[in-house]
Structure 1
Amino acid sequence: MRPILTLTINPALDVSTSTENVVGEHKMRCGLSRLDPGGGGVNVSRVIQRLGGQTLAIYAAGGPTGEAYRKLIEAEGIPTVVVPIAGSTRESFTVDETSTGKQFRFVLQGPEATEAEWRACLDRVAASIPHDGYVVASGSLPPGAPDDFYARVARLAREHNARCIVDASGPALAAALAEGVFLVKPSGRELGELVGAQLDTAESQIHAASTLVERGSAEFVALTLGGEGAVLASAAGVIRLPVPQVQVQSTVGAGDSFLGAFVLRIAQGHDAQAAFRAAVAAGSATAMTPATELCHRIDVERLEAELALLPV
């Protein structure tokens, strides 16, 4: 297996709970709560470890929430490099309304990153990039980080003959694509914003994803479409898979799980079709779990086997 490095410059301490009804200006009594170390790259590392792989996770953290975050990751036994920051690690808050089944998600902005802090993250990446391996840069950028931050990560990866995977949106995604990367994983909405068009048909979605490949912006474009499945575009063509029929409890972390499974299977030497099946299986398996819980290996492997029976 080729080595995998993940980067999370703006992680979040995920807090989740439930209440019967979400009502304005009322004190709402909640059920049991849980804490998870969230954020794109860290979730990718957590999923890879659950599926039997290993990564090195680099993340920025500070303050009391950063300390709680660090202890949660240590408890999972994931190898990490922590970049200290002056601000306190942000939180995200998820509330399930039990009377309706609705989910309310509140994502805080996070502390501003100083130039010294975001450059320190790049320095840690440069010192840790595995030669001929994979670098996964995932999640939102904190205030203060430049729009081309992930593009800089892509350049560092190229210098070490590593493949860079970026999961971002807006200007950060556009800058990374201008640099050229191995894989991006936009949602339908994010891809539409990127190309400046309403992608409301399967044909328009496939055309937009394939155009990025043709331009050399990315070798693979994995387009996640929620309940409508997913599309994988590459120079070899386009693959489309439906999502398995599962009981959805929460979609928090499903995209990160998709990405983690895809990268793991590719790093293990599987082809793109097999990696794509694993990705769809992992995203769906995470949707089966409550609140901010991530997928379980037994569910991923079962769904992966079911998807292998479908034509592509």
Structure 2
Amino acid sequence: MIVTVTANPSLDRTVEVDRLHRGAVQRALTTSVDAGGKGVNVSRALVAHGRPTRAVLCSGGFAGLELLALLRETGVPLREVRVTGGIRSNLTLAEPDGTVTKLNEPGPRLSTSEVDAVLDAATEAIIGEADWVAGCGSLPPGMPVDVYARLTERAHALGAQVAIDTSGAALDACLAAGPDLVKPNAEELAECAGAEIRTLGDAVKAAQVLRDRGAGAVLASLGADGAILIDDSGARYATARLDAPVVSTVGAGDATLAGFLAAGGTGEHALRTAVTWGAAAVTLPGSSMPTPNDLGRVTAEVQRSIDPDRVLTK
């Protein structure tokens, strides 16, 4: 069982336009609405592949009601924490060439008791069920930056492994608690390590900085350049070839983490699965998560030999 914890879920609306013209009135080509938030997306991907999961999340306001309805439609098992404020609604503007513009709201301000309720709900979901706990996404206003560190400590005390996918101060604060895995993208990795990342070698060195500070392993998604995994056995690099055009990159990192955990959360097979799921996600509209039928569009390859001078795509 993989328990996901999303403190700042969202209702994600995607609007496709032929081209974004700032300051102009435009007609949308298509629109779609998905349940969103990083942990929610991980659970959606797992359910799509028949893997057991439970999503712990905050919910409030009319957007929260719609979010819960969407998740029930997709069959995601839930543990809901009701909060006073309404959850956020995010807007994605997608253009045919793959350009994506995202407008993300901050989310509701949580009280101390609501923060405690989220951690308590996560603890209850973990007991006797979870092999992995994934704490994912940004923190809403009012939530202390050490909440993922506290989640890690609780999960470890209950015998579960922990993956954290967040950024900024929340990522920085969780490392001392020793999460088994962190999953930054290239920008988040550079910020946390305090280093510029231009090459694969730079990415590996930055990932090792996070391991030196407490992370057991680092799975860093590098966009079109694939992903690297750095753990006790060394560094591995995975790339993917697509047999379909890129439609939307929204949620691809969440699909990557879902694939990694679904495949056991360690080693070469998990890395290959992670890159396959993440690459399949970019061939789908909005924040859709890939199904087994989508994976045939991807060929993934894992290399133990990494060219440190390979320049990453900007």
Same fold flag (TM > 0.5): yes
Q: Say whether 1:220 aligns with 2:217.
A: yes
| CA-to-aligned-CA distance 1:181-214 (integer Å, 9 cap, x gap) | 010011111111111111222212112212433x
CA–CA distance in 2 between the matches of 1:292 and 1:6?
Answer: 17
Q: Say whether 1:110 aligns with 2:103.
A: no
**Residues 222 and 231, structure 1, Cα contact 8 Å, conserved in 2:** yes
Q: CA RMSD in A?
A: 1.7
| CA-to-aligned-CA distance 1:151-180 (integer Å, 9 cap, x gap) | 000010111011011000111001111111
CA–CA distance in 1 between the matches of 2:171 and 2:210?
Answer: 12
CA–CA distance in 2 between the matches of 1:197 and 1:115?
Answer: 34
CA–CA distance in 1 between the matches of 2:203 and 2:98?
Answer: 30
* Offset at residue 301 of structure 1 (A): 5.7
Q: Letter of the 2:230 partner, please give it.
A: A
Residue number in structure 2 paired with 1:165: 163
CA–CA distance in 2 between the matches of 1:205 and 1:11?
Answer: 29
* Offset at residue 296 of structure 1 (A): 2.2
Instruction: State how 1:29-108 maps to structure 2 within 5 Å.
Output: 29-98=27-96, 101-108=98-105
Question: Of 145, 148, 151, which residue of structure 2 is paired with 1:147?
Answer: 145
Q: Say whether 1:272 aligns with 2:267.
A: yes
For residue 229 of structure 2, give the secondary structure of its aligned residue in structure 1. strand
Structure 1: 5+ residue stretches without partners: none
For residue 30 of structure 2, give the secondary structure of its aligned residue in structure 1. coil
Residue number in structure 2 paired with 1:242: 239
Residue number in structure 2 paired with 1:296: 291
Residue number in structure 1 paired with 2:16: 18
CA–CA distance in 1 between the matches of 2:2 and 2:137?
Answer: 16
CA–CA distance in 1 between the matches of 2:182 and 2:94?
Answer: 30
Residue number in structure 2 paired with 1:175: 173
* Offset at residue 21 of structure 1 (A): 3.2
CA–CA distance in 1 between the matches of 2:229 and 2:278?
Answer: 14
**Residues 48 and 289, structure 2, Cα contact 8 Å, conserved in 1:** no
Q: Say whether 1:252 aligns with 2:250.
A: yes
Residue number in structure 1 paired with 2:3: 5
* Offset at residue 107 of structure 1 (A): 1.0
**Residues 230 and 243, structure 1, Cα contact 8 Å, conserved in 2:** no
Question: Of 27, 42, 55, which residue of structure 1 is paired with 2:25?
Answer: 27
**Cα distance change, pair 139–101 in 1 and its aligned pair in 2 (3 A):** closer
CA–CA distance in 2 between the matches of 1:39 and 1:152?
Answer: 20
CA–CA distance in 1 between the matches of 2:287 and 2:176?
Answer: 33
Structure 2: 5+ residue stretches without partners: 305-314
Question: Of 226, 250, 258, which residue of structure 2 is paired with 1:229?
Answer: 226
**Residues 192 and 210, structure 2, Cα contact 8 Å, conserved in 1:** no
CA–CA distance in 1 between the matches of 2:78 and 2:99?
Answer: 35
**Cα distance change, pair 245–101 in 1 and its aligned pair in 2 (3 A):** closer
TM-score in terms of structure 2 length: 0.91
* Offset at residue 101 of structure 1 (A): 4.6
Q: Letter of the 1:77 partner, please give it.
A: G
**Residues 4 and 130, structure 1, Cα contact 8 Å, conserved in 2:** no
* Offset at residue 292 of structure 1 (A): 2.0
| Identity rate, percent | 34
Runs of 4+ with >6 A deviation: none
CA–CA distance in 2 between the matches of 1:199 and 1:21?
Answer: 31
TM-score in terms of structure 1 length: 0.92
**Residues 39 and 55, structure 2, Cα contact 8 Å, conserved in 1:** yes
| CA-to-aligned-CA distance 1:225-258 (integer Å, 9 cap, x gap) | 1111110000011110112234211100000000
Q: Letter of the 1:29 partner, please give it.
A: R
For this pair of structures, how many residues does the alignment match? 302
Deviates more, 1:238-247 or 1:185-194: 238-247
Q: Letter of the 2:15 partner, please give it.
A: T
